[in-house]
């Protein structure tokens, strides 16, 4: 039933909905704004037709014109390494914001591609800057978003540098679990929009290793993965596998980043 709830939400979503009526407002830039302030933010936002799987929001080297608040769906960001190999930098869900990495040099340093049908709120960055000066709460929320991005990079470096393959995968699945829960979806049953090869790339593992660990988790009745649907049966053991006994994994991003 949880999956049907999420599926129906995506199918019936009104992509032209205003900020003050959006159920993701508490995860995004409108958080903390009053109705009048939200109205001002809403006026600079562009909501175009959804991106389809494989469509790019922006490419590495593109000039920064806008940032993108994800309304539904998901995207991945990646960069090309010096050896010509692709490195996946992250996966963004509804309520999170893509394009922030382009602020530093006024151009994007990664590619951002839709993993599924994805609706976004496109926010022109120069207008957002001006509005942030006018509305201090909006500026504060921007700082929070950027701070979470920095924290994510730090915790990802820690995850990849010190944890075993099992710990990495367990922490990744737990991070998705809480991010879905923050969006009022099930924390125990959710869809993976990314492929196993994408997950392996992101975690610095071989695809075979990811598949082997998932099989082991299934055999031990900790979780199951049918096609791309994950069902977690024993979250306590999953936390233990991640090396965390009593607190959520610090790789989790609760707000739009």
Q: Which residue has the higher pLDDT, 256 or 219?
A: 219
Q: Which residue has the higher pLDDT, 225 or 16?
A: 225
Q: For residue range 190-233, list pLDDT tens digits in order.
A: 999 999 999 999 999 999 999 999 999 999 999 999 989 999 99
Query: What's the mean pLDDT when you consider all of the chain?
Result: 83
Q: CB count, 10 Å around CB of 160?
A: 13
The reply to whether CATH 3.40.250.10 applies to domain 160-241 is no
User: Hey, where are the domains in the chain?
Assistant: 2-150, 160-241
Q: How many CA atoms lie within 13 A of 251 on its CB side?
A: 25
CB burial of 96-110 (b: ≥16 within 10 Å; e: otherwise) equals: bbbbbbbbeeeebeb
Q: Which residue has the higher pLDDT, 182 or 104?
A: 104
Handedness of CA 4, 46, 20, 129 (dihedral sign): positive
Q: For residue range 66-110, list pLDDT tens digits in order.
A: 999 999 999 999 999 888 899 999 999 988 899 999 999 999 999
Burial class (CB in 10 A: 0-12, 13-18, 19+), 10: middle
CATH of 2-150, one of 3.40.30.10, 2.60.120.10, 2.40.170.20, 3.90.1170.50: 2.60.120.10
Q: Across the chain, where does the E strand assignment appear?
A: 56-58, 66-72, 74-80, 86-93, 97-98, 111-114, 119-124, 189-191, 223-226, 229-232
Tell me 27's DSSP state. G
Is residue 154's pLDDT more than 50? yes
Is residue 22's pLDDT more than 80? no
Residue 179 — φ and ψ, nearest 5°? Answer: -65, -40
Report the percentage of the chain scoring pLDDT > 70: 80
Is residue 2's pLDDT more than 60? no
Ordered DSSP codes for 60-99: TT-B--EEEEEEESEEEEEEE-TTS-EEEEEEEETT-EE-
Q: Which two tokens stand for residue 83?
A: 């050896």
Provide the pLDDT for residue 195: 95
Helices then strands, each counted (H, E), the chain: 8, 10
Provide the pLDDT for residue 116: 96
Burial class (CB in 10 A: 0-12, 13-18, 19+), 67: buried
Q: Which residues pair with 63 in a beta bridge?
A: 107
Provide the pLDDT for residue 14: 47
Average the pLDDT over each of 2-11, 88-97, 121-130, 211-220 and give the range with the smallest value.
2-11
Handedness of CA 179, 180, 184, 189 (dihedral sign): negative
């Amino acid at each position: 039933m949880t999956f049907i709830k999420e599926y129906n939400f995506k199918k019936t979503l009104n992509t032209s909905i205003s900020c003050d009526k959006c159920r993701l407002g508490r995860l995004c830039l409108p958080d903390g704004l009053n109705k009048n302030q939200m109205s001002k933010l809403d006026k600079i936002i562009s909501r175009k037709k959804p991106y389809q799987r494989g469509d790019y929001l922006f490419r590495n080297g593109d000039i920064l014109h806008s940032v993108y608040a994800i309304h539904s769906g998901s995207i991945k960001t990646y960069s090309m390494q010096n050896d010509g190999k692709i490195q996946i930098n992250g996966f963004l869900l509804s309520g999170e914001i893509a394009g922030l990495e382009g602020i530093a040099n006024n151009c994007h340093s990664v590619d951002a591609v839709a993993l599924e049908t994805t609706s976004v709120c496109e926010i022109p960055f120069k207008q957002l800057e001006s509005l942030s000066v006018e509305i201090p709460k909006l500026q504060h929320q921007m700082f929070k978003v950027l701070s979470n991005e920095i924290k994510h990079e730090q915790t990802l470096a820690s995850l990849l540098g010190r944890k075993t393959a099992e710990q990495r995968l367990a922490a990744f699945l737990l991070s998705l679990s809480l991010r879905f829960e923050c969006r009022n979806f099930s924390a125990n049953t959710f869809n993976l929009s990314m492929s196993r090869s994408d997950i392996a790339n992101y975690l610095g593992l071989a695809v075979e290793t990811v598949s082997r660990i998932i099989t082991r988790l299934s055999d031990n009745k900790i979780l199951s993965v049918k096609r791309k649907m994950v069902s977690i049966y024993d979250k306590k053991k999953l936390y233990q596998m991640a090396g965390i006994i009593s607190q959520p994994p610090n790789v989790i991003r609760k707000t739009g980043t």
